[in-house]
């Protein structure tokens, strides 16, 4: 069913359009960059990160450029800022299921869950 993400900016109450995201495959301490992209107007990718056929069982990391996004929106962040990049490490066990990884984020907090 694939892999997708969606980011909501909880400070402004809107999708995190323009946020940079990177997807890595991980194995132990090693991380291999698979894709770098920028979220669209809805805070989503234009296509799934993986479709039904290309998603493999294993461990992955999504890294979100939180500080860069909020700075680009004109938010005055302290130096150093509280959150710079948020990295979410997760596993895919069942490639016949959809893995949706949403992120709710502000300059000071974040939350995630496995969505549908």
Give dist(CA 92, CA 3) in Å, integer.
Answer: 9
Asked whether the bond before 80 is cis by omega within 30 degrees of 0, the reply is yes
What is the pLDDT tens value at each position of the chain, 116 positions in all? Answer: 799 999 999 999 999 999 999 999 999 999 999 999 999 999 999 999 999 899 999 999 999 999 999 999 999 999 999 999 999 999 999 999 999 999 999 999 999 999 98
pLDDT number for residue 116:
85
pLDDT number for residue 33:
98
Q: 25: exposed, middle or buried (C-beta count within 10 Å: 0-12, 13-18, 19+)? A: middle
| CB distance 25 to 47 below 8 Å | no
pTM exceeds cut of 0.85: yes
Picking from 96, 100, 18, 9, the residue whose alpha carbon sits closest to that of residue 60 is 100
């Amino acid at each position: 069913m694939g892999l997708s993400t969606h980011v909501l900016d909880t400070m402004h109450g809107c999708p995190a359009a323009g946020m940079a995201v990177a997807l890595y495959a991980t194995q132990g301490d090693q991380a291999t960059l698979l894709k770098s992209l920028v979220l669209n107007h809805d805070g989503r990718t234009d296509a799934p990160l993986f479709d039904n056929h290309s998603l493999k069982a294993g461990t992955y990391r999504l890294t979100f450029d939180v500080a860069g996004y909020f700075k680009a929106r004109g938010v005055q962040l302290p130096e150093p800022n509280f959150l710079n990049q948020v990295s979410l490490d997760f596993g895919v066990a069942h490639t016949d299921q959809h893995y949706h990884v949403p992120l709710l984020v502000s300059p000071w907090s974040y939350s995630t869950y496995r969505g549908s």
